[in-house]
Amino acid sequence: MSRHVLLVEDEPNIVEAIRFLLSREGWQVDVHSEGSDALDVIRDKRPDLVIMDIMLPGKSGIDIVRELRRIERFRDLPVLMLTARGQSRDREMAEEAGVTRFMTKPFSNAEVLAAVRDLHAQASGS
């Protein structure tokens, strides 16, 4: 079974931490740090799961998810949204856009792993 995640994040420390964590768990991790063309990267890579920051250069993660949900084959793609700002307004906007789960930075490795496993299990119906 495929286990491919696309991490759309522009903070190198977070990229390295999540890449290390998920790679160790057997995930193929692709990384992209730019919001403006993230949708094209998702189309090209066709990941099983996307982890995305809200604040990205070029375009916000919320705008990317809104666009993603308009594309038939990506309506059910699990998206874990990361944010440094845990305000309820951010959460509401993310949920309205179609984000599957929301996580506030800083987060623990265990939280990320649990969320990724859970989202993947839900998406694959296992």
pLDDT tens across 24-53, in order?
Answer: 999 999 999 999 999 999 999 999 999 999
Give the per-residue pLDDT at 10. Answer: 96
Q: Are 80 and 103 in contact (CB under 8 A)?
A: yes
Q: What pLDDT band is residue 126 in, cutting at 50, 70 and 90? A: low
The residue range of the domain holding 56 is 4-124
For residues 17 and 124, the model is more confident at: 17
Handedness of CA 119, 90, 15, 109 (dihedral sign): negative
**CA 52 centroid distance within chain:** 3
Element (H, E) at 91: helix 88-97
Give the per-residue pLDDT at 88. Answer: 85
Q: Supply 51's token pair.
A: 């982890």
Q: What is the pLDDT of residues 81-111, one digit of tens each?
A: 998 877 888 889 999 999 999 999 899 999 9
**CA 19 centroid distance within chain:** 12
Query: How many distinct structural domains can be found in the chain?
Result: 1
For residues 65 and 125, the model is more confident at: 65
Q: Write down the mean pLDDT value for the chain.
A: 94
CATH code, 34: 3.40.50.2300
